[in-house]
Every structure is written in structure tokens, then in C-alpha cells.
Amino acid sequence: MANTLLILPGDGIGPEVMAEVRRVIDWFGARGLAFDVSEDLVGGCSYDAHGTPLTDAAMETAQAVDAVLLGAVGGPKWEDLDFADKPERGLLRLRKEMDLFANLRPAQCFDALADFSSLKRDLVAGLDMMIVRELTSGVYFGEPRGVSHDGNERVGINTHRYTESEIARVARAAFDLARKRDNRVCSMEKRNVMEAGILWKDVVEEVHAAEYPDVELTHMLADAGGMQIVRAPKQFDVILTDNLFGDMLSDVAAMLTGSLGMLPSASLGAPMENGRPKALYEPVHGSAPDIAGQGKANPIACILSFAMALRYSFDAGDEAAMLEGAIEDVLEQGTRTGDLMGAEGGTPVSTSEMGDAILAALDARAA
Ligand code: IPM
Ligand code: MG
């Protein structure tokens, strides 16, 4: 079976970090794991070229390939565009039309980076949690929405809406993942103030009782959950939550690991005809316009996103582990981009030098 991949580097540091991923893809290609790669535009660069943050043609390709790998979208240049033209709409269209309902955001702390965390080393060393964020519904997409008038003042409206089946399918994704990990799920919502939160908890409990009684299930209010993530993060295995809470909690969890430049994500949908899930992989970090084009960006989050693609789309778990191992080697050796420079100082490497180091570590592991 051919392995097809659509690469959407996007804006800001996206193209720079993606260039390093291309080298990693070629490295595996030269060793028998080949990919049929196509490339297109998303975000502000697509708006500049085509007047839309994602063309129908790019959307069609995304639907047809095994996996999409995205860099980042957005930047100050496009901030004043109409809502529908904004770079972020390109990403949200991909998520929605591919129906990528389960967003997997691991927060793992590499031992070599434990001192970069905003928390004390012993709270984060060895941390390995996974946030499963619902990605295609909730307040991001609910109707009605918009800014209108009520008498003589403006009203902003967004709707938080979840159907049972939307909750059930993302809950299953979380329980399935937990079974391959430490077998524990903590579900987070705000049932104390939201009816949709009451339904969320009920449905999660029903799916659990009927299909996953072997998995340990707990519940937390999302605000208390946020507090626990920074108080004692290692208590968590899998956290299951909705689109908006997941957006916030995953950024909070990201900082525990030392740098946003380290964190990958996978967004998965239903299986396609060939058995592989609809899938999009992207780093959690954004387009970082302040450092774009300077060769300073850390390519690791994007490369780790490719590792997730190897694992979840291409059934290449051994290769994924090898790539993650190579990154660990490089960090152990002390190779650091600017975002990973601690109080002890030193000279940061460039984006492409980090790529060089990772390829060398892969060579060493393959030897
Ligand atoms: C994320 C981002 C996106 C989101 C933006 C860029 C639309 O913050 O993936 O977490 O809010 O989902
Ligand atoms: Mg976010």
C-alpha cells in the first residue's frame, strides 16, 4: 500500500520547521519506508495567493491522502481580514470537513529538559500524559453565532452544543488510547454551570459502563482540572475534554514540558476505506511571527508530529520510536534551539542545525 502525505507548511515558522521534517521523511524513504508527498498552501499564504485560506483543490487532496502534515497558520499580516478569510479558518475547515473529532495532545517531559519547565523538576520529570480534545464541535462550531445588535448595543454570540454521539465517539477514542497506556481516563467539563457538561459526564459514564469497564474513569470540573495539571501533573494518564477546555488545558500542559516548541499533535477521524483513520498532524505551537524567517525555530514539535503520523497512520510504531529516541539523544547531547536555552546559557543551534543533529542521531541508531 502506498503511503500518501500532504504537506501544508503554512505561515510564519511553518515552512522552516517543515523543511526539516522533509529531510526526516527522505531519511526514512532512503531506508525502505517511502512516502508519496504532495505540498500545498494553507493559511495566510494561501489567502495571498488565492484569496482564501484553503482552496477547494487543497481540501480535496487532504481528503484523499493517508495523512496531512501541517506547519502553522496565521500572523499579524492577516489579523484584520474578515473572519471568514482569516488564516485560522483554513485549519478549522480541514478539521471540520475531514471530521477529525479526536485531537491527541501528548505532554511528555524529556528528562534532559525537565529543568526548563515552569514547575519544579520532580513534579514534571517522567511526565507522560495525553489530552484527548474533542475537535469538531462545541463552541468552535455551534450555531447560532455572530455579532448582532440587541436594541442599541452589540451582542456577541457563540453556542456550546454537543450531541450524544459526538461525546460518545471522542470518549471511545480516549478509552481506546488509555488501554494502550496506563488505563486511566479523567474526563473534564463544567457540569456545575453547563447543561452540556451534565450530558457530557452522563454519556462518558454510559460508554464506560457499556464498553470499557476495565478502564479507570474519574471526573473533574475543568477549572479544578486546570489547577491539578499545574499542581500535580503526573496524576494524569489520559484527560478527555471538549474543544474549548481542551484548547486551554493543552496549552497549560504544554508549558509543563519546558517549551511549546516540543509538542506534537494528531487529529484523527473515522477509518477510511483502506482502514487508516482520516488524519492531520501538526505541532501545538503557532506560527511565531516574531522569529519567523530567522532560522531560530525549534523543528522538534513538527518532527514529533511526523512521528505520530508514523505511529497512527502508517502502522510504523518501531520507526516512530526510533525517531523519538533520536530526538531524545540529541537533547541528551545538549543540542538546543533558542527556546530551550536555560539559565546556564550557551549557543543555540539553528533550525537546520537541529535537523542535522537529528539526522545524525538517526544514522547512529540505524548503524
Ligand atoms: C490550537 C490553536 C487553534 C485552536 C487555532 C489556531 C484556531 O490554538 O490548535 O490549539 O484554537 O484550536
Ligand atoms: Mg490552542
Residue to mutate (ligand 1; options 13, 54, 136, 247; most atoms within 8 A of CB): 247
pTM exceeds 0.95: no
Tell me the pLDDT tens digit for each residue of 65-123.
999 999 999 999 999 999 999 999 999 999 999 999 999 999 999 888 888 888 999 99
- Residues 7, 80, single domain; the answer is yes
Q: Is the pLDDT of residue 261 over 90?
A: no
With a CB cutoff of 8 Å and minimum separation 6, the contacts of 358 are 20, 24, 299, 300, 303, 323, 326, 327, 330
Return the amino acid letter for 52: T
pLDDT attached to residue 343: 65
Examine residue 50 and state whether it is found in any structural domain, yes or no: yes
- 48/133 Cα distance (integer angstroms): 31
Rounded to the nearest integer, the mean pLDDT of the chain is 96
Q: Find the angle CA(275)-CA(41)-CA(245) to the nearest 5 degrees.
A: 65
Residues 149 and 49 in one domain: no
The domain that contains 177 carries what CATH number?
A: 3.40.718.10
Domain termination residue (choose one: 222, 255, 288): 255
pLDDT surpassing 70 at residue 133: yes
HSE (CB half, 13 Å, CA atoms) of 91? 24
Q: Give the pLDDT band of residue 254 (cuts 50, 70, 90).
A: confident
Tell me how long the chain is: 367
Please say which residue of 193, 221, 255 terminates a domain.
Answer: 255
Cα 180 to ligand 2 centroid, rounded to whole Å = 26
pLDDT at 105: 96
On whether residue 113 sits in a domain, the answer given is no
Above 70 in pLDDT, residue 324? yes
Whether 324 and 286 share a structural domain: yes
Quickly state the pLDDT bin for 208 (edges 50, 70, 90).
Answer: very high
Lowest mean pLDDT segment, chosen from 81-95, 289-303, 319-333, 336-350: 336-350
Asked if residue 115 is part of any domain, the answer here is no
Q: Are 287 and 185 contained in the same domain?
A: no
Instruction: Collect all residues with Cβ–Cβ distance below 8 Å to 18 and sequence separation of at least 6.
Output: 7, 9, 69, 71, 302
DSSP classification of residue 260: G
Question: Which residues are known to be catalytic?
Answer: 140, 190, 223, 247, 251
Q: What is the Cα–Cα distance from 205 to 222, expressed in whole angstroms?
A: 17
Residue 342 in this model has a pLDDT that exceeds 80:
no
134 and 239 in a common domain: yes
Q: Is residue 123 part of a domain?
A: no
Please report whether residue 136 resides in a domain.
yes
51 in a domain, yes or no? yes
Please report which ligand is nearest the Cα atom of 280: 1
Last residue of a domain, one of 234, 255, 276: 255
Residues 235, 279, single domain; the answer is no
Residue 182 CB: number of other CB atoms within 10 A? 15
Taking CB atoms within 8 Å and a gap of at least 24, the contacts of 304-308 are 304/262, 304/263, 304/264, 305/21, 305/69, 305/264, 305/265, 305/266, 305/281, 306/21, 306/24, 306/25, 306/69, 306/281, 307/264, 308/104, 308/264, 308/265, 308/266, 308/281
Residues 101 and 162 in one domain: no
For the chain, the distance separating the N- and C-terminal CA atoms, rounded to the nearest angstrom, is 27
CA distance 138 to 248: 14
Q: How far is the CA of 114 from the centre of ligand 2 (A)?
A: 23
Task: Give residues (CB < 6 A) around ligand 1.
Answer: 88, 91-92, 247
Residue 64 lies in a domain: yes
**Domain assignment of residue 138, given as a range:** 128-255
Residue nearest to atom 1 of ligand 1 (CA): 247
Taking residues 140-150, report their average pLDDT. Answer: 96
**Residues whose beta carbons lie less than 5 angstroms from ion ligand 2:** 247
Q: What percent of the chain has pLDDT over 90?
A: 91
* Co-location of 140 and 224 in the same domain: yes
Nearest CA to ligand 1 atom 2: 247
* Ligand 1 atom 11, closest CA: 247
Cα–Cα nearest to 279, from 22, 21, 108, 70: 70
3 state DSSP class of 19: helix
Q: Please compute the mean of the pLDDT values over residues 192-219 and round it to a whole number.
A: 98
